[in-house]
Amino acid sequence: MIQENEVKELQKKAFEIRKMTIDAIGHLGVGHIGGAMSIVEVLTLLYYRVLKNIDPKNPQKEGRDKVVLSKGHAGPALYSILAEKGYFPKEWLYTLNGSDTRLPSHCDMNRTPGIDMTTGSLGTGASAAIGLVLGNRLNGYNDAYTYLIIGDGESQEGQIWEAAMFAAHNRLGNLIAFTDYNKLQIDGYTQDIMSIDDLNSKWNGFGWHVQRVDGHDLRALDAAVKNAQDTKERPSMIIMDTVKSKGFCFGEGIVGNHNMSFDKAKAEEAIKILNKCQGE
Ligand SMILES: Cc1ncc(C[n+]2csc(CCOP(=O)(O)OP(=O)(O)O)c2C)c(N)n1
């Protein structure tokens, strides 16, 4: 079980990642802040506790655990983590989505060290993650896991459910997926656009091991990942209840927080408020 001091360390990291992400998007002036902020805890847990065999100095290391951020528009949060881990210089964050940047708005494995799969066209990451699991199986890396993150709006894509069926049929126990259930997508509430409820029953029905947790609770997330790893013959889905734009006060609770425009001054103000909430 995760120790209290380890939780505190991870919370500190998550806090830093949030600030770096707000700062990078504020520097550019516009970006996918909402869906980036809602996955900060899961990314922090993965990169600072869960992933095995990764090496920032050798991003292509054979047999490593891999992450597929299928909701590839949330790349800025992942870039902050990768920079913090040392995959590339932190200054790169200020080139976010610029011309000739190595950090495009959506994840691109050919441009960014540490990105394991190119994503952005919603739904495709699930199939790609399955390919990575099968590749590991063929290469004898039986202990390597692939972690997949999808959005709730993304879950309306038919390709997700074809992948769900395939993964269960092929007993892909080394596939551990997360749904970032922040209840919002680009045009409004997921419930209004096309409801995905009852999500637990859907994944259960497709033969997956399903858990539901508060996606900002690092203890709960850690326990859920452990349970998922202990489930050997079935792929796992961890449904995370999250808040879109969590920690970016100008976006939280706003339906249009998907891709927001804000400048450096607003970013600084948001970071100040976040610091205050954190008691700094
Ligand atoms: C196939 C496809 N259709 C449409 C889009 C445009 N698009 C980008 S993000 C998004 C909403 C995704 O919602 P969700 O998965 O809930 O992401 P989150 O709210 O967590 O950012 C849409 C429709 C896309 N990237 N790919």
Q: Which residue has the tokens 């990105």?
A: 115
Quick one: average pLDDT of 67-82? 98
Closest residue CA from atom 18 of ligand 1 = 35
pLDDT by residue (tens digit) across 101-155? Answer: 999 999 999 999 999 999 999 999 999 999 999 999 999 999 999 999 999 999 9
Which residues make beta-bridge pairs with 147?
Answer: 67, 176
Ligand 1 pocket (Cβ < 6 Å) reads: 34-35, 38, 71, 73-74, 120-123, 151-154, 180, 182, 184-186, 244, 258
- Here the CATH number for the domain that contains residue 230 is 3.40.50.970
Residue 85: band (very low, low, confident or very high) from pLDDT cuts 50, 70, 90: very high
Predicted TM-score (pTM) of the model is 0.98
pLDDT by residue (tens digit) across 25-34? Answer: 999 999 999 9
pLDDT at position 280 over 60? no
Closest atom of ligand 1 relative to the 120 alpha carbon? 25
pLDDT value of position 277 = 87
d(CA 162, CA 21): 33
d(CA 210, CA 155): 15
pLDDT by residue (tens digit) across 12-23? Answer: 999 999 999 999
Quick one: average pLDDT of 45-69? 98
Q: What percent of the chain has pLDDT over 70?
A: 99
Phi-psi region of 100 (alpha: psi -120 to 50; beta: other; left: phi over 0): left
Q: Kindly give the distance from the C-alpha atom of residue 119 to the centroid of ligand 1, in angstroms, as a whole number.
A: 11
What Cα–Cα distance (Å) separates residue 3 from each residue in 7, 8, 17, 52, 219?
6, 9, 21, 19, 9
With contact defined as beta carbons under 8 Å apart, do 19 and 274 qualify? Answer: yes
- Number of domains forming the structure of the chain: 1
pLDDT value of position 71 = 98
pLDDT value of position 278 = 79
pLDDT by residue (tens digit) across 205-234? Answer: 999 999 999 999 999 999 999 999 999 999
What sign for the dihedral angle of Cα 265, 17, 146, 239? negative
Q: Kindly give the distance from the C-alpha atom of residue 181 to the centroid of ligand 1, in angstroms, as a whole number.
A: 13
pLDDT by residue (tens digit) across 178-213? Answer: 999 999 999 999 999 999 999 999 999 999 999 999
pLDDT value of position 178 = 99
pLDDT value of position 167 = 98
pLDDT value of position 279 = 67
Mean pLDDT (the chain, rounded):
97
d(CA 146, CA 226): 14
Range of the domain at 10: 4-277
Which residues make beta-bridge pairs with 67?
Answer: 147
d(CA 166, CA 110): 27
Closest residue CA from atom 17 of ligand 1 = 151
